[in-house]
């Protein structure tokens, strides 16, 4: 079985996630795109585990999931806080720190 | 590979959908599609534990958290797909394409060879083998994640916590405030009147009638009034006739009904 | 001046070779430390010491005087060759081959100075108790006076040029503080600043001289320098001597650094008496005398000393003739008398002893007259204009009598101390050079003129009614005892100071330090010389009597006066000369440098900064605040890195 298509799929999903972060303005959707990127890398890790015949890749993917869970909790709390003070979930509205 | 070739186009399409859909809820649902497909791919890649974790933790917990926050935040101007930063979309697309191309070309330059497969590694079950690794080789990282999770939990609590800036109002204070407001603005101090009650209808949308037959404005929710779904008592007069007919009595026109009809009509005008 | 050069070769120049201190000499450090401790207590103690501060200040100086006196007695008991005692305290500076000890040198010269400084200093301290009684800052005044005494004794007791320099700067500081003591007066503050700045010019000469001495001899101690002096290169010695003379000119108000002394009279009168008459301004004479081993080997420098001395002698005397401010007349007189001392010191071995002799007698009678002037001012409500005095001899008899003793001493009335000392200097001057002698003789006549003028305008010349020209509301009264007793003591010393010359005692006493000079016959017999001097003095007195004593003195200074008088009233244009030669060119240079700095240096720096600011103004637009733009740049960077990696690896 060739693992190459899995890796290419992972790359495509990662790229889509990247572009999503750049073009979407809703902070929650941006966050979802970040999750998409994490998932894409997870796919690559699991694929590598299969290709190399050991479980280290799966462990790494597991850790990524744990960290992503923690990140989502804090990230969403931050988004909520910003929304509460600014009445907006747009990443473009928080642009006071500039020249 | 069959599963892959079926799921891969679905995943790519769903992921692209995230870029283009207008509503965040739809994006979340599309993301769910990608994630569940990924879980199935994990199964195909001999990672049953991750399959379960992906569905339970990612799709079940994290994505639900997203939806929960979306519910709190609600519909927002940021859902608009009109780009406000000049050149952002074009440049993002260009760089995204370059990245994708480079990655794909780069990967296709590498020869992976045949996959070793996890038959040996999964000897005795995938989950026990993962546990063996996790609690021996990666035990320190594992313990560290516990600290990370606790920190994240505390962080979320701190961020979500809202400080009470004014003392909590006591019952006596509330009563005093109501009386004061009554003295100052004439606002009614008591509870609002209940909506009208009819036997055959859920009558929250039906205003109560005052003794003189006029409508009590406060008895119905403002939301219902705004939606224009308030029913009027005269509209139900047909029901009375129906009941009477069922009871074997001839319907008769009552002068009070006409009077109430006027009152109800005025209520509806006032509400709209 | 060839005769002076020849003399230097003939005369034996003693080498400073101190014996170890024992007995009372080991206490020599107390002479300095006592007033220093007094100053520290008074200046650091603050208001707590207000009540008894002046008493402590006086007591410390008296203590120093007692120690000095016992050392003097101990020296008297020794053989002439055994009278140089060194007291090594501690190593002050040690850096490689450069080693300076905090050593004291007690020899016939320094002990005379110690006695003069602490003796006259004690009297002036006592006088100040009365004079400063109504001043709120009397305690601070005594603290500064004590600081001065400590620095001055350090100056004269040091066995090393660096030690002298320490005291030298110390007296400069004390002088600055005391001239500007009434700092609320802008004139006093300006005078203090002027004195300080002009003294800095002299101090540069002094410090350069010390550096040159170290470079030449490898040491700055008197012992080492005097031992090696005769073998040194003559031109080097000339340079050292001229630099030392520059220092001496600054401190002793000699031409061309004389301009500060007249302004220094802004200080309280006891300060003028102690610092600007009796002691500090004579430090230059001390320096030249102490450095006799250098000047005897530096003929050009020695000749310059004589020239400077003669010019100053006449300069000060002429200024003294025209001033109406009693203290400024005395200041001009001080300048002139220090010129005499410098003349004596410049005349070499023959004159050193007489220079010191005149210094001591001058210390007595000039302190006496300054304190007397203070007493007169005290009586006249601090008025210093002599045209507002007159007919005071009845009103303040004690002051008058003591002042008269000082007057007779300074003009050289036969028998009084000034007669002996000045006469000797004039005699030696005539012996060395007839022209110098003539100038000194004329100076004596002019001195007699202006001092008589001062006496007449202050104590005599009543108007038609027999009253003075006093300001309305002024009621002259005699000063309290605490002021008159020091006056009486100083008056007695002014009269009797000449006893130091009995059987040439002072010459023999100083011989171990300055060398012995075999007597040379003056061009005229000594008695004839004396007669001529007395005659010239008499002419001066008579001239004053006929021009001032016989006529009505106007209350305001007449303006239709000749050019010389006008010049003298303006300090012979000393300030104008300084302004033209130094101050204005300096100001213009500074203005030019400032313009250069503003235009070129600041322009370059600020232009660079402005350019940076402009560039930053353009580039900061990149920071537009949008997170997505930043994320895009991160992606661009990542893509670039991947591309580069790919390009490198493929």
Instruction: Note the pLDDT tens digit of each residue in B138-195.
Output: 999 999 999 999 999 999 999 888 888 888 889 999 999 999 999 999 888 888 887 7
Cα dihedral C45, C185, C318, C418 in deg (nearest 10): -30
**pLDDT bucket at C565, cuts 50 / 70 / 90:** confident
Token representation of residue B223: 């939301």
% of chain B residues with pLDDT over 90: 35
> pLDDT tens-digit profile of C80-120?
888 888 888 888 888 887 888 888 999 999 999 999 999 99
By the CB < 8 Å criterion, does C650 face chain B? yes
> Which residue among C626, C632, C635 sits closest to A95, beta carbon to beta carbon?
C626
Pairwise CB contact (< 8 Å): C628 & A91: yes
Backbone angles phi, psi at C232, to 5 degrees: -85, 160
C618 part of contact set with chain A, CB < 8 Å? no
Question: Tokens 């993962």, residue?
Answer: B130
Q: How far apart are CA B188 and CA B183, in angstroms?
A: 10
Poorest-pLDDT segment among B90-104, B256-270, C318-332, C343-357:
B256-270
The answer to whether the CB atoms of A21 and C631 lie below 8 A apart is yes
Q: Which residues of C79-100 are buried (b: 16+ CB within 10 A; e: fewer)?
A: eeeebbbbbebeeeeeeeeeeb
The yes-or-no verdict on residue C8 having pLDDT over 50 is: no
Contact B99 C638 (CB under 8 A): yes
Q: Could you tell me the pLDDT band of residue C546, with boundaries at 50, 70 and 90? A: confident
Burial zone of A31 (CB within 10 Å; 0-12 exposed, 13-18 middle, 19+ buried): buried
pLDDT band at B253 (very low <50, low <70, confident <90, very high): low
Nearest-CA distance C608 → chain A (Å): 21
Q: Is A96 on the interface with C (CB under 8 A)?
A: yes
The minimum CA-CA distance between C607 and chain A, rounded to whole Å, is 23
Which residues of chain B lie closer than 8 angstroms to A24, CB-CB? Answer: 18-19, 27
pLDDT in tens, A53-83: 889 999 999 999 999 999 999 999 988 888 8
Best of C628, C637, C639 to disrupt the B interface (most B CBs within 10 Å) is C639
d(CA C242, CA C303): 10
Residue contact A32–B65, C-beta within 8 A: no
Query: What tens digit of pLDDT does each residue of C214-255 get?
Result: 999 988 999 889 888 888 888 999 999 999 999 999 999 998
- Within an 8 Å CB–CB cutoff, is residue A69 touching chain C? no
Q: What is the pLDDT of residues C291-300, one digit of tens each?
A: 999 998 899 9
C196 versus B250: the higher-pLDDT residue is: C196
| C window 218-247, beta carbon within 8 A of A | none
Mean pLDDT of B198-208: 68
Average pLDDT over residues C524-549: 87
Calpha distance C412→C365 (Å, rounded) = 11
Chain B stretch 93-152, residues whose beta carbon is closer than 8 A to a beta carbon of chain C: 95-96, 98-99, 102-103, 105-106, 109
CB contact under 8 A, B85 and C635: no
The alpha-carbon gap from B102 to the nearest alpha carbon of chain C, in Å, equals 7
- In the predicted model, what is the mean pLDDT of chain C? 88
List all residues of chain A from 21 to 40 with a beta carbon under 8 Å from chain B: 22-29, 31-33, 35-36, 39
* pLDDT at residue B198 is higher than 80: no
Task: Give the pLDDT band of residue A3 (cuts 50, 70, 90).
Answer: confident
- CB hemisphere CA count around B240 (13 angstroms): 11
pLDDT value of position C335: 92
Of residues B113 and B106, more confidently modeled: B106
Query: Cβ–Cβ of A98/C624 closer than 8 Å?
Result: yes
pLDDT(B40) > 50: yes
| Mean local confidence (pLDDT), C323-337 | 91
Q: What pLDDT score was predicted for residue A1? A: 65
Are residues C642 and B103, on separate chains, in Cβ contact within 8 Å?
yes
- Given a contact as 3+ CB pairs under 8 Å, which chains touch A? B, C
Residue B84 to chain C, least CA–CA distance (Å) = 11
- Give the ipTM: 0.93
Q: Determine which of A40, A66, A80, A90 to mutate to test the interface with B (most B C-beta atoms within 10 Å).
A: A66
More confident residue, B147 or C470: B147
Mean pLDDT of C260-271: 90
If pLDDT is split at 50, 70 and 90, which confidence band does B199 have? low
Q: Which of A22, A26, A34, A82 to mutate to test the interface with C (most CBs of C within 10 A)?
A: A22
Q: How far apart are CA A52 and CA A50, in angstroms?
A: 6
Residues of chain B contacting residue A49, judged by C-beta atoms under 8 Å apart = 45, 47, 118, 121
Lowest mean per-residue pLDDT among B33-37, C309-313, C447-451, C521-525? C521-525
The tokens for B267 are 């209520």
In the 3-class helix/strand/coil scheme, how is C357-426 assigned residue by residue? HHHHHHHHHHHHHHHHHHHHHHHCCCCCEHHHCCCCCCCCHHHHHHHHHHHHHHHCCCCCHHHHHHHHHH
A92 and C626 within 8 Å at the Cβ level: the answer is yes
Decide if C636 touches B, using CB distance below 8 A: yes
Residues of C in contact with B105 (CB under 8 A): 646
- In a 13 Å sphere around the CA of C489, the CA atoms on its Cβ side amount to 14
Confirm or reject contact between C631 and chain A (CB < 8 A).
yes
What CA–CA distance (Å, rounded) separates C503 from C482?
A: 36
Least CB–CB distance from B102: residue in C628, C632, C642? C642
pLDDT at C569 exceeding the cut of 90: no
Span of B54-58, B127-131, C561-565 with lowest mean pLDDT = C561-565
How far is it, in rounded angstroms, from Cα C17 to Cα C487? 39
Chain C positions touching A95 (Cβ under 8 A) are: 624-627
Beta bridge partners of C158: C104
- Which two structure tokens, joined as six digits, stand for B224? 């219902």
Does A27 lie at the interface with C, CB-CB under 8 angstroms? no
Sign (positive or negative) of CA dihedral A31, A37, A41, A46? positive
All residues of chain A having their beta carbon less than 8 Å from the beta carbon of residue C635 are 18, 22
How much is the pLDDT for C5? 41
Of B85, B102, B109, the CB nearest to C626: B85
> When comparing pLDDT for C287 and C8, which is higher?
C287
Q: Of A34-43, B116-125, B176-185, which range is least confident?
A: B116-125
Q: What is the pLDDT of residue B17?
A: 94
* DSSP type of residue B249: -
**What DSSP string describes A52-92?**
HTSSHHHHHHHHHHHHHHHHHHHHHHHHHHHHHHHS--BTT
Contact criterion met (CB < 8 Å) for A53 and B19: no
Model confidence band, residue B248 (pLDDT cutoffs 50, 70, 90): confident
CB of A1 within 8 Å of any CB in chain C?
no
CB contact under 8 A, C635 and B99: yes
Residue B77 has a pLDDT of 53
Output the pLDDT for position B270.
40
Residues facing C20 on adjacent strands: C86
For residues C76 and C276, give the distance between their C-alpha atoms in angstroms, rounded to a whole number. 30
Q: How near does any CA of chain C get to the CA of B157, in Å?
A: 25
Point out the least confidently predicted range of A84-93, B261-270, C447-456. Answer: B261-270
Given an 8 Å threshold on Cβ–Cβ distance, is C643 in contact with B96? no
pLDDT at B250: 62
Interface contact flag, B57 A5, Cβ < 8 Å: no
Record: contact B116-A92, CB cut-off 8 A: no
- Which of B88, B98, B109 is the closest to C639 by Cβ? B98
Chain A residues within an 8 Å CB radius of B151:
70
């Amino acid at each position: 079985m060739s693992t190459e298509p899995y890796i290419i799929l992972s790359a495509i999903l990662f790229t889509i996630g990247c572009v999503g972060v750049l073009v979407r303005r809703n902070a929650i959707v941006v966050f979802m795109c970040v999750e998409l990127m994490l998932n894409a890398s997870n796919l690559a890790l699991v694929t590598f585990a299969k290709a190399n015949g050991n479980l280290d890749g799966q462990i790494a993917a597991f850790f990524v999931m744990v960290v992503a869970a923690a990140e989502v909790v804090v990230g969403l709390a931050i988004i909520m806080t910003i929304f509460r003070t600014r009445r907006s979930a747009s990443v473009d509205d928080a642009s006071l720190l500039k020249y | 590979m069959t599963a892959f070739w079926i799921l891969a186009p679905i995943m790519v399409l769903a992921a692209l959908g995230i870029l283009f859909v207008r509503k965040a809820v739809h994006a979340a649902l599309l993301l769910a599609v990608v994630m569940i497909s990924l879980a199935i791919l994990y199964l195909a890649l001999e990672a049953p534990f991750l399959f379960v974790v992906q569905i339970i933790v990612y799709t079940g917990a994290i994505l639900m958290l997203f939806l929960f926050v979306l519910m709190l935040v609600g519909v927002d101007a940021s859902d608009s797909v009109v780009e406000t930063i000049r050149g952002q979309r074009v440049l993002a697309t260009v760089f995204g394409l370059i990245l994708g191309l480079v990655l794909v070309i780069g990967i296709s330059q590498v020869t992976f060879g045949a996959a070793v497969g996890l038959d040996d590694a999964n000897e005795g079950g995938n989950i026990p083998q993962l546990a063996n690794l996790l609690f021996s080789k990666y035990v320190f990282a594992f313990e560290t994640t516990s600290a990370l999770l606790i920190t994240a939990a505390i962080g979320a609590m701190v961020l979500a916590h809202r400080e009470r800036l004014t003392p909590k109002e006591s019952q006596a204070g509330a009563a005093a405030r109501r009386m004061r407001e009554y003295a100052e603005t004439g606002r009614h101090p008591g509870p609002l009147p209940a909506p009208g009650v009819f036997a055959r209808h859920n009558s929250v949308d039906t205003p109560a009638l005052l003794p003189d037959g006029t409508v009590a404005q406060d008895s119905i929710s403002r939301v219902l009034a705004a939606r224009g779904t308030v029913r009027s008592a005269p509209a139900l007069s047909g029901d009375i006739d129906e009941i009477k007919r069922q009871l074997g009595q001839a319907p008769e026109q009552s002068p009070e009904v006409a009077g109430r009809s006027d009152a109800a009509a005025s209520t509806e005008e006032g509400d709209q | 001046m060839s005769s002076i050069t020849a003399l230097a070769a003939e005369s034996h120049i003693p080498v400073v070779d101190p014996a170890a201190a024992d007995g009372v000499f080991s206490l020599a450090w107390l002479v300095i430390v006592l007033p220093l401790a007094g100053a520290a207590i008074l200046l650091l103690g603050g208001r707590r010491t207000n009540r008894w501060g002046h008493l402590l200040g006086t007591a410390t100086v008296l203590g120093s005087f007692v120690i000095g006196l016992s050392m003097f007695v101990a020296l008297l008991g020794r053989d002439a060759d055994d009278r140089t005692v060194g007291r090594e305290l501690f190593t002050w500076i040690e850096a490689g081959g450069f080693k300076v000890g905090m050593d004291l040198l007690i020899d016939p010269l320094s002990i005379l100075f110690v006695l003069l400084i602490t003796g006259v200093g004690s009297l002036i301290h006592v006088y100040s108790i009365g004079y400063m009684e109504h001043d709120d800052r009397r305690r601070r005044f005594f603290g500064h006076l004590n600081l001065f005494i400590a620095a001055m004794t350090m100056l004269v007791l040091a066995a090393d040029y660096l030690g002298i320099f320490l005291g030298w700067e110390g007296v400069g500081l004390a002088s600055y503080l005391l001239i500007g003591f009434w700092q609320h007066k802008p004139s006093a503050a300006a005078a203090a600043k002027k004195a300080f700045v002009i003294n800095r010019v002299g101090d540069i000469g002094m410090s350069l001289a010390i550096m040159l001495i170290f470079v030449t001899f490898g040491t700055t101690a008197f012992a080492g320098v005097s031992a090696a002096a005769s073998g040194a290169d003559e031109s080097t010695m000339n340079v050292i001597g001229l630099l030392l003379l520059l220092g001496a000119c600054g401190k002793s108000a000699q031409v061309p650094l004389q301009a500060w002394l007249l302004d220094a009279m802004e200080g309280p009168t006891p300060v003028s008496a102690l610092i600007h008459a009796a002691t500090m301004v004579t430090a230059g004479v001390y320096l030249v005398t102490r450095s006799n081993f250098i000047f005897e080997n530096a003929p050009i420098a020695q000749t310059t000393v004589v020239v400077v001395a003669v010019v100053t002698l006449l300069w000060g005397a002429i200024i003294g003739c025209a001033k109406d401010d009693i203290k400024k007349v005395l200041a001009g007189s001080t300048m002139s008398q220090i010129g005499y001392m410098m003349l004596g010191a410049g005349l070499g071995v023959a004159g050193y002893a007489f220079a010191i002799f005149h210094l001591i007698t001058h210390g007595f009678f000039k302190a006496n007259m300054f304190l007397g002037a203070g007493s007169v001012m005290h009586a006249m409500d601090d008025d210093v204009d002599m045209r507002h005095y007159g007919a005071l001899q009845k009103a303040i008899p004690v002051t008058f009598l003591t002042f008269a003793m000082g007057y007779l001493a300074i003009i050289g009335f036969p028998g009084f101390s000034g007669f002996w000392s000045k006469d000797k200097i004039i005699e030696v001057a005539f012996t060395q050079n007839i022209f110098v002698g003539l100038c000194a003789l004329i100076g004596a006549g002019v001195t007699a003129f202006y001092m008589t003028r001062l006496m007449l305008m202050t104590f005599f010349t009543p108007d038609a009614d027999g009253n003075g020209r006093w300001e309305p509301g002024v009621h002259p009264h005699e000063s309290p005892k605490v002021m008159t007793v020091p006056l009486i003591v100083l008056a007695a010393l002014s009269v009797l100071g000449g006893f130091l010359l009995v059987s040439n005692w002072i010459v023999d006493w100083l011989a171990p330090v300055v060398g012995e000079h075999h007597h040379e016959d003056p061009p005229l017999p000594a008695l004839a010389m004396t007669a001529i001097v007395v005659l010239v003095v008499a002419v001066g007195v008579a001239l004053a009597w006929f021009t001032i004593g016989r006529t009505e003195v106007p209350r305001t200074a007449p303006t239709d006066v000749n050019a010389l008088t006008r010049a003298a009233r303006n300090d012979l244009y000393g300030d104008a000369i300084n302004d033209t030669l130094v101050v204005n060119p300096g100001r213009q240079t500074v203005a030019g440098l400032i313009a250069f700095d503003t235009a070129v240096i600041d322009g370059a720096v600020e232009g660079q900064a402005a350019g940076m600011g402009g560039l930053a103004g353009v580039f900061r637009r990149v920071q537009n605040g949008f997170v997505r733009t930043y994320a895009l740049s991160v992606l661009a960077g990542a893509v670039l890195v991947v591309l580069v990696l790919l390009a490198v690896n493929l």
